[in-house]
Amino acid sequence: ITPVRALSTEVLMEMRCELTMQIIGDTPNGHRRIYHITGGTVKGPRIVGEVLAGGSDSFLVRTDGTGFLDVRVTVKTDDDSLIYVTYRGVLHHTTTLEGRLMAGETVRWDEYYFRTVSFFETATEKYDYLNHTMAIGVGEADFAGVSYSVYRVL
């Protein structure tokens, strides 16, 4: 099948979130963890700044190893603008990879599936384009946090 409508993207930013973990445990819905965002960075062609402490990443892992993210963060740009970022995602890896990550081992991003979809809110005119942007990301997790390559869908 040849698609009728093309999809293209442009690099929006590299984002890093530092995390601490709170384990809720095995619930009727799956294994629940809450990651508290303690800081981070963003850097892209049109946006540079920091991820402010206080955000959260609600993470639920099903028995098949598929994890679902529901994240809320605030970015403060280098020109003091605030951008509210929400994203949902899917992280799927085996229990072997999970054990490696939890042991602090570096596991390359291409060894598992970690994708996100992001939306943005800001009151700053310079970043207004983000208010009508959907972005997709490719994630990589390590014991201290997560990193994303984020692409604006055009």
pLDDT reported for residue 131? 98
Question: Looking at the predicted structure, is the pLDDT value of residue 102 above 80?
Answer: no
Do 49 and 74 form a contact (C-beta atoms < 8 A)?
Answer: no
Mean pLDDT, residues 78-95: 93
Position with higher pLDDT, 81 vs 3: 81
For residues 137 and 58, give the distance between their C-alpha atoms in angstroms, rounded to a whole number: 17
pLDDT of residue 153: 98
Ramachandran quadrant class, 74 (left: phi over 0; alpha: psi -120 to 50; beta: rest): beta
pTM of the model: 0.91
- Whether residue 122 has pLDDT greater than 90: yes
